[in-house]
Amino acid sequence: MSGVDVIARLVAAAESRARDGLGRRLRTIANGDPTHVIVDGRRLLNFSSNDYLGLAGHPALVAALKQAAGEHGVGATAASLVCGHRRPHAELEEALADWTGRDRALLFSTGYAANVGVMQALLAAGDCCVQDRLNHASLIDGARLAGCALRRYPHADVEAARRQLALCEDGGAMLVSDGVFSMDGDIAPLAGLASCAAEMEATLMVDDAHGLGVLGAEGAGSVVEAGLDASQVPVLMATLGKALGTAGAFVAGDGDFITALAQFARSHVYSTAPPPALAAAALAAVSIARREQWRRERLAALVEHFRNGAQAMDLPLLPSRTPIQPLLLGGAERTVAVSTALERDGFLVVAIRPPTVPAGRARLRITLTAAHDFGDVDKLLRALAKAMRDNGGP
């Protein structure tokens, strides 16, 4: 017997994290309106949401969800391959495949489940997976669970990715990157990665959770914006809980690949299908996102307005043209202090600290949505200037 109390060990680790000022806590949030939330009874202007197109509360999505719930009930009741695959699921998969230029798409309950499922299905011991060092945790975990060799390259460095792929001697090889990086907001060098994957005979996978709906023609994502097609990026994952305002995820690709994935992705095979009513709401969101270009144009204008204002105040913004605007403050203590000061002034801007980001790289992750207006951005800039002055200077 080992004599190790695993629960006590976990509790001790959490207590250590709290002592280091890195603990996180659940807070019950209530919606106020598309740009505000209610926290502890206070109405806050929200700059921490991933609802980039402002669709989460759209009347068309709410109506679609209600109608489908009346027809199909609240839950899918079973895994997709048993009896959980309903008409809204099929229609949504068809729409997502068409939008992203793929033959077929397969729904998953979450983006984490999609990434773990696709990588576990494609990779095995003896294979090699090469990933950007700033990839989402689910991609890292997916490779580890697959049992393959995991190699990571410095952020956005195509030549380093090529060198790592050259070390993959036997078995299959995958090159995997976020399309838009969730904490830095920058866009992967996808054209270069596609050329690298082709040269090194590796399969390229892109996680476009934060690009879908925001970038590319009709909002089809970072891969489309980069001018790449399904032959160059054969594995595409994206989520429904960011720009589309609902929940869930999908993997899209060649028809034979998706048919096989449905058989072998354990997180799909052994999970209850997403609620059909939610799929109906997501289908309504896809339609709006594709046709209402003004939402992306407004979002881009708000991002530009924010960046111009922040740069005029010499705020330490990381380079990003996406709705994710990271304000790099370095130390966790100061980052929390600035976030707390903003909340006192009526703004929700969450502090991001290690281990989510590297030590010394704590930041405010400011996110803009099409539901904000220019006045909201100006208020935030004034509050940021004050909070920064009061907590260690600009």
The binding site for substrate consists of 24, 136, 356
Residue with tokens 């204008």: 301
Give all strands (DSSP E) within 154-202, no chain letters: 173-178
Q: CA-CA distance, 134 to 318, in Å (whole number)?
A: 14
CA distances from 302 to 33, 131, 134, 388 (A): 19, 32, 26, 22
> Which residues sit in the known binding site for pyridoxal 5'-phosphate?
111-112, 182, 210, 239
CB neighbour list of residue 287: distance below 8 Å, 6 or more residues apart = 95
Kindly list the distances between the CA atom of residue 33 and the CA atoms of 79, 103, 162, 174, 327, in Å, as whole numbers in the listed order: 34, 38, 47, 43, 25
- Coil, helix or strand at residue 348: strand
**DSSP notation for 352-364:** E-TTTS-TT-EEE
DSSP letter at 216 equals S
Which DSSP category does 80 fall into? I
Q: What angle do CA 70, 74, 75 make, to 5 degrees?
A: 135
**Which residues fall in the annotated binding site?**
24, 111-112, 136, 182, 210, 239, 356
Helix (H) or strand (E) holding 149: strand 149-153
In the block, tokens 């980001």 appear at 357
